[in-house]
Amino acid sequence: MTTPTVTIPFKDRFAGPMLNGKKTMTTRTRKYGKSGDVFHAFGGEFKIIGITRVRLWFVAEKFFEQEGVSSQQGFKRVWAEILPRRGFDPDQKVYLHRFEYIAREQ
């Protein structure tokens, strides 16, 4: 049985943090698959290990490091940069995708 493959876009600046295992989560406004799905990014293969619906403030407060940034403010800046029209709304409900690095693509 083949594992379903999904597409999740990432900014180039996250290549290093994803490939070295520092970035293990991504927050999105919609679901990009389900647990067990695989995606490819920056020459690596990653597996989604869980998706949880949470409020954006929770991600900024608890998971900024797993998002590949060094501070809560850094996460808020990245979010506002990616979604400039809406910006960082702490009460916005989002999907937190947890993933693991599986292997380098061949």
Q: Write down the pTM of the prediction.
A: 0.91
Give the CATH class of 12-104: alpha beta
Q: Give the chain's mean pLDDT.
A: 94
Q: Chain centroid to CA 15: how far? A: 12
Distance of alpha carbon 50 from alpha carbon 37, whole angstroms:
10
- The domain segmentation of the chain, as residue ranges, is 12-104
User: Could you write out the three-class secondary structure of the chain?
Assistant: CCCCECCCCCCHHHHHHHHCCCCCEEEECCCCCCCCCEEEECCEEEEEEEEEEEEHHHHHHHCCCCCCCCCHHHHHHHHHHHCCCCCCCCCCEEEEEEEEEEEECC
User: Residue 71 is which amino acid?
Assistant: S
**Cβ-based burial of 97 (10 A; exposed 0-12, middle 13-18, buried ≥19):** buried
pLDDT in tens, 26-51: 999 999 999 999 999 999 999 999 99
pLDDT of residue 106: 63
Distance of alpha carbon 22 from alpha carbon 45, whole angstroms:
15
